[in-house]
Amino acid sequence: MNLQGEIIPMTQTVKGQNKGTPKKQYRPGQRQQDRLQRQARRRRRQRILTAAIAALALIVLSVAGILEYQRYTSDRAAAQLANAHATATHVARVDATATAAALNACLAGLKTTPTPTAGPAKPPALTGTPVTLPDGLQYIDVQVGCGAAAKTSSNVSVQYTGWFQKTGKKFDSSWDHGAQAITITLGKGQVIKGFEEGLVGLKQGGTRILIIPPALAYGAAGHPPQIPANATLIFEVTKASVTG
């Protein structure tokens, strides 16, 4: 168009399109090449995604495998411990049964005497040579007894009768108190030293005679009015029950 001497180019349109807009020019075969590149990129992304999924799955399986192995190991260890405990319990039960049977058989073979209704008035006749300990305590085992020997910390139950050595007079007896045995824990100092020391080594069902010098009994002071000063005491302890 010529407007007052100026030439103004007019843009022609075809079917509403601006003919002046440049179109993308493709070289021969470029479309095919772009398509191939897009496909290659798509395949690359798919491979990366597949590899990531596979790696994640491998990690999950590895963790699951580790946890399962730990559970299996723990269950196996628990089962082995339970079996060992059951075996030990069974062996202990068998041993305890055998020990109890042997103890009962031994006790059945011990010499028995009628249960007295009162402590004897006179001390028993001493036969044999007594065992003398360094501190002066003496004892004679009339009947050894069965099972484990009493030791320091053992609980020992005995019937007893006590006499003065000098006069032979009885001063006390558990038989005179309804046959109530006394139970003491050795090593606790619950009775006079000589009596406690004299029970060490005593076995269940055993009978022992103790000869206790004053230093291991009530000493120079005695225990008035029942025990005079400097009294040597004789005890017969019998029907022992020993635990611990």
Active-site option among 192, 209, 211, 212: 192
What are the structure tokens assigned to 184, written together? 């003491």
CA distances from 201 to 142, 149, 170 (A): 13, 5, 25
User: SS3 string of 145-211?
Assistant: CECCCCCCCCEEEEEEEEEECCCCCEEEEHHHHCCCCEEEECCCCCCCHHHHHHHCCCCECCEEEEE
Tell me whether residue 235 is one of the annotated catalytic residues: yes
Active-site option among 140, 164, 171, 184: 171
Active-site option among 140, 164, 172, 184: 172
Active-site option among 209, 211, 218, 227: 218
- Strands 182-185 and 155-164, sheet pairing: antiparallel
Tell me whether residue 218 is one of the annotated catalytic residues: yes
Report the alpha-carbon distance of residue 225 to residue 241 in Å, rounded.
Answer: 32
Tokens 């484990």 appear where?
Answer: 148
Tell me whether residue 171 is one of the annotated catalytic residues: yes
Contact 163, 171 (CB under 8 A): yes
What are the structure tokens assigned to 64, written together? 């699951």
Distance, CA of 121 to chain centre: 50
3-state DSSP call for residue 62?
helix
Active-site option among 160, 195, 209, 212: 160
- For the chain, how far is it from start to end, CA to CA, in angstroms? 130
Any idea which residues carry the catalytic annotation? 160, 171-172, 192, 218, 235
